[in-house]
Amino acid sequence: MKDRANPYLQGHAIDPVGIDGDQSVTELVDRCFFAYNAGRLRDACGLFTKKMLEEHVTIGLGVTGALTPAGLGRSCMLPLMRAAFVDWIVSTGANLYHDAHRSLGLMMHRGQPQVDDIELRKHDVVRIYDILFDYKVLLSTDEFFRRIIQEPEFQREMSTATFHDLCGRYLLERERALGLPEGTSLLSASHIERVPIYTSSPGDSSIGMNVAAQELRGNGLRLSITRDVNETAAIVREANRDGQTGIVILGGGSPKNFLLQTQPQIQEVLGLEDVGQDYFLQFTDARPDTGGLSGATPAEAVSWGKVDPDHLPDAVVCYLDTSVALPILTTYALARRAHRKPRKLLDRLEELHDQLKSEYLAHQPDDESAD
């Protein structure tokens, strides 16, 4: 029972049930995750399902670390996308590249981290901790991207979201040709579900490296990071007009800041009145005191205008390995909430960008307005 006289003793009593092997994942979280990072994971599940998955909340997902090689794209991110629990994504290029292997019928294998890397090199085996795959997987995937970006529709400047959408279309065609399930990878699934995927550092992956190689041969593709900045700001600006925004951050790094900087872009740079993100959920093993937490705990982010101070209680940082936390969060959410109506933001990027541009120019003094 709660102690009504003491404001510090209003939380539920820690009174767990005994685990007997019959509990579902949701029951395990609700009945056994009470304290430490188990408690924060329970808080994360509650925040995500009870508040962030309301119909009026637009959710961005940040993806950092080698998550898709471990299968977390297909096992977790794709189901979240298909349920419309994720509306837009910022990912490292490496996660998209390695996930594309699956759409091409190229496999990665479970292994052990205690292996001789010199011997692996002799046998043309590449290692990502305990994930092993043939070096030819890289060469085949490189060849695929080099070939498709020679097509006419790629010969122009575009945002990384538009670029990834085109890549997803070709990956979907390859899946069909190979008899694979449609939407096997993040890129092909995002093309189907119309979920924009951005890469905050497009040159920092094998996809970007192949784009750079083709530029040396006269290819006309140019990835516009400035377009990315304005499109993502436009998504958040539109979402806040009649609703709320939230972000789920897997890891940290550049994708995390790219998600969060949408509000400084709107308020500080464009000079438009707005508020920060309403909901903030992060899984990380970094620490703020060493600078490894990307310099932005939720409280710090308030000082930048990235997070709405009125919603600071609606922020959870869970210091836990994403490979453990994300499957639990995904299972919990899919068990507790029905699918939402898809926003299909990929089909509205031009409209949202132009709307932001018009609003920005309308608020500029005459001597600063564009011609």
Q: Point out the residues that are catalytic.
A: 306
The two tokens of residue 150 are 């020679």
Rg (CA), the chain: 22
Q: Which residues contact 253 (CB under 8 A, 6 or more apart)?
A: 64, 92, 294
Give the C-alpha separation, 153 to 150, whole Å.
8
Contact 298, 47 (CB under 8 A): no
Of 329, 270, 320, the residue nearest 61 (C-alpha): 329
CA diameter of the chain: 75
Report d(CA 260, CA 233) in Å as an integer: 10
Nearest to 245 by CA among 289, 301, 190: 301
- How do 279-283 and 157-158 pair as beta strands? unpaired
Cα 27 to Cα 303: distance, rounded to the nearest angstrom: 37
Residue (of 65, 62, 36, 93) closest to 277 by Cα position: 62
Alpha-helix residue ranges (DSSP H) falling in the chain: 25-32, 36-47, 72, 78-82, 93-103, 117-122, 135-148, 160-178, 186-193, 206-215, 225-242, 253-260, 262-264, 298-304, 322-336, 349-362
Helix segments in 278-348, DSSP class H = 298-304, 322-336
CB 333 within 8 A of CB 25: no
Phi, psi of 241 (to 5 degrees): -65, -50
Structure tokens, 149: 């970006």
Cβ(255)–Cβ(91) below 8 Å? yes
What backbone torsions phi and psi does residue 291 show, to the nearest 5 degrees? 85, 0
Q: Is 133 left (phi over 0), alpha (psi -120 to 50) or beta?
A: beta
Residues 107, 101: Cα–Cα separation, whole Å: 7
